[in-house]
């Protein structure tokens, strides 16, 4: 019984700078994403969608982000500007997970966002299960409306995260994890 939990017990993020080729091939990616979208979805709203960044598109995306960054922060250092420009070029594939919020629904927005977040987490789990590495990142670009426009997002859509995918180029040590005893309590009336 507990061996089935080993995937959850061993999963860890691989820094995007340490993700190289190969990314999942097209058939594997399709299977991974089909599995990832099987999430709890109160109201069957499907409050999410995915945008793929791959190949030269990643560099073009980073260049547009750098333009926004320097316009918004003219005193930004060259190092920070270069970091924004190259941020999406390390992993061979980036999947942008987008929350598509239905304001007219009885389902609270937080539940819709959590649904989209579950998609991002399922991509992480699925990638690990398939032997790939992944990292879920946000950063300022996830919250910037001009960046949302570049990605073709509508006003009711928001980036939940950029999931970087590829093959780990190094062995990543696990980090310290919190103790369950510090987190679990029992409610009594």
Is residue 137 marked as binding? yes
The single residue listed with the structure tokens 């420009």 is: 85
Is residue 11 marked as binding? yes
Is residue 138 marked as binding? yes
Q: b/e map of 117-132 (b: 16 or more CB within 10 Å)?
A: bbbbbbbbbbbbeeeb
Is residue 49 marked as binding? no
Which tokens is 184 given? 């679990």
**Alpha-carbon distance values, 50 to 94, 116, 151 (Å):** 10, 10, 10
Q: How many CB atoms lie within 10 A of CB 116?
A: 25
Is residue 13 marked as binding? yes
Return d(Cα 88, Cα 57) in angstroms, integer: 9
Strands 48-54 and 19-20: unpaired
Is residue 12 marked as binding? yes
Q: Is the dihedral of CA 64, 84, 60, 36 positive or negative?
A: negative
Is residue 136 marked as binding? yes
Is residue 52 marked as binding? no
Provide the annotated binding site: 11-13, 38, 42, 136-138
Provide the annotated binding site for FMN: 11-13, 38, 42, 136-138
């Amino acid at each position: 019984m507990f061996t089935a939990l080993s995937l959850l017990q061993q999963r860890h993020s691989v820094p995007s700078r340490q993700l190289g080729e190969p990314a999942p091939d097209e058939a594997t990616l399709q299977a991974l994403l089909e599995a990832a979208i099987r999430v709890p979805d109160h109201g069957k709203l499907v409050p999410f969608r995915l945008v793929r960044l791959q190949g030269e598109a990643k560099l073009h995306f980073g260049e547009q982000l750098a333009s926004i960054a320097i316009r918004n922060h003219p005193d930004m250092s060259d190092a920070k500007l270069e970091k924004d420009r190259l941020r999406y070029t390390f992993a061979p594939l980036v999947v942008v997970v987008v929350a598509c919020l239905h304001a007219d629904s009885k389902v609270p927005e937080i539940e819709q966002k959590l649904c989209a977040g579950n998609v991002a987490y399922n991509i992480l789990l699925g990638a690990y299960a398939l032997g790939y590495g992944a990292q879920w990142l946000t950063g300022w670009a996830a919250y910037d409306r001009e960046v949302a426009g570049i990605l073709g997002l509508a006003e009711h859509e928001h980036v939940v995260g950029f999931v970087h995918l590829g093959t780990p180029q190094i062995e990543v040590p696990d980090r310290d994890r919190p103790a369950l005893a510090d987190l679990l309590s029992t409610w009594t009336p």
